[in-house]
Structure 1
Amino acid sequence: MTAVLHRRGFAAFLFDMDGTILDSIAVANRIWARWAERHGLDAAEILRVMHGVQAVQTVRRFAPAGINVEEEAAAITEAEVAETAGVVAIPGAAPFLQGLPPERWAVVTSAPRRLALRRLWAAGLPVPAVLVCAEDVKNGKPAPDCFLAAARALGVPISDCLIWEDAPAGIAAAEAAGATVIVVGATHPRRLETPHPVVQDYVSFHVEADSTGALTLVALGQEGKRP
């Protein structure tokens, strides 16, 4: 986390879900690998690019000719809703989110609402007042529509938001929206190449709100004390 983020106050925090506040990668990879195998597709290629985008976009990109894209995407979603074993919160995410003013944060995900609620519940995370999901926007990530919709719902300028992301599609969407971006690297086996600040989890800092409600990240010292 850079000194720039330490000093700056933000009107709101916008969080991606999968890979950012919770880890569902093992579950998603299992389900998508099964789908790829069933259709004779390259599972490794699908798993490389499917994170952070709507299921229907991935199905449309890879499905063989003649496949009903909407039906296939719906079946994948049902499988993901049913299979929550292994869905866990990113370390420190639960208390971090619980400590934020309810009107100052949102979750912005490419998952359908039913799946998003199921995974938040499975990970023991709070459900925000503003939850922007796949069915809420016409164009999914990497388009900026979802983040712009969340900022509007919170009543704040997108330029005053800090967007928390983990996947290339989401980072591109955040950049296109014109927000400041911070990358969560907890689920990446190798450091993601990005010009944005990277944090591994939510345990090494907390948030302070000033008299206007602006949110500022404050790093903790080595002994867990404020610097």
Structure 2
Amino acid sequence: MDRAILSGGRAFSAFLFDMDGTLLSSVIAAERVWARWASGHGLDIDAFLPTIHGVRAIDTVRRWVPPGFDAEAEASKVTLAEIEDIDGIAQIAGAEAFLSSLPENRWGIVTSAPRALARRRLEAVGLPAPAVLITADDVTNGKPHPDCYRLAAQTLGFDASDCLVFEDAPAGISAGEQAGASVLVIRATHMHPLETAHPGIDDYDGLRVSVDADGSMRLHISND
């Protein structure tokens, strides 16, 4: 575990944030929508729901529906339902204040949600949409593939190996790892412990950033 990440011992060129489960909690709304979809397709809901988190809707649909279904159409239906259903969505504690403390050109959001859904959820909880917002619409291969994090880092003008990825789900953690980035796990929405070698925090309360002369950033927790 790289404890230097949380003690100011490591500087990063940029921060890359997952959205759902990392900056905001949407699990109740998402599972409500997906449970209805799964029920309509005769799926075992208890087995199905744990598989939806951190990955694109299209990849979930392709994994579960039999050949012959129009996976694109099914994923679009789910996305539209998620855009309509934002009841229960909330910020992760301290997220807005932390994002507001970051230099504008040094962070981005990398989400498995389509762009319309990402903007809807960010707006619903009052979080800013960054200039760099990489969504399911921007990559061919979604998480756990590293393409999304590499694209975000490149768009910001940095190499992924110089970035810190904030993630909550195994698929996103794997994407960050494969991109060559360092990873910080956000545990706010975890109902069960997640086995990982990466450092983690419960939320953003007590987390602050300092900026070096070259614009790179260091993390500090309040008890450092």
Task: Please say if residues 39 and 64 of structure 1, whose CA atoms lie closer than 8 Å, have aligned partners that are also in contact.
Answer: no
Q: Displacement, 1:141?
A: 0.4
Q: Which residue of 2 aligns with 1:157?
A: 159
* 2:83 maps to amino acid: V
Q: CA offsets, 1:185-223, max 9 Å, x none?
A: 0000122110000110000210010111111011113xx
Q: Which residue of 2 aligns with 1:84?
A: 86
Q: Displacement, 1:64?
A: 3.2
Q: Residues 63-142 of structure 1: matches in 2 within 5 Å?
A: 63-142=65-144
Matched, 1:183 2:185: yes
The unaligned stretches of length 5 or more in structure 1 are 222-226
Give the Cα–Cα distance (whole angstroms) in 2 for the partners of residues 150 and 31 of structure 1: 28
* 2:86 maps to amino acid: T
- Aligned residue pair count: 222
Give the one of 43, 46, 49 matched to 2:45. 43
Q: Which residue of 2 aligns with 1:58?
A: 60
Give the Cα–Cα distance (whole angstroms) in 1 for the partners of residues 3 and 174 of structure 2: 23
Give the Cα–Cα distance (whole angstroms) in 1 for the partners of residues 129 and 166 of structure 2: 16
Q: Which residue of 2 aligns with 1:224?
A: none
| RMSD of aligned Cα (Å) | 1.1
The unaligned stretches of length 5 or more in structure 2 are none
Task: Please say if residues 55 and 144 of structure 2, whose CA atoms lie closer than 8 Å, have aligned partners that are also in contact.
Answer: yes
TM-score, normalised via structure 1 length: 0.95
TM-score, normalised via structure 2 length: 0.97
Give the Cα–Cα distance (whole angstroms) in 2 for the partners of residues 46 and 170 of structure 1: 18
Give the Cα–Cα distance (whole angstroms) in 1 for the partners of residues 191 and 57 of structure 2: 23
Q: Displacement, 1:2?
A: 5.6
Give the Cα–Cα distance (whole angstroms) in 2 for the partners of residues 114 and 75 of structure 1: 13
Q: Displacement, 1:180?
A: 0.3
* 1:81 maps to amino acid: I
Structure 1 runs of 4+ with >4 Å offset: none
Identical residues among aligned pairs (%): 53
Give the Cα–Cα distance (whole angstroms) in 2 for the partners of residues 3 and 187 of structure 1: 22
SS across alignment from 1:52: coil
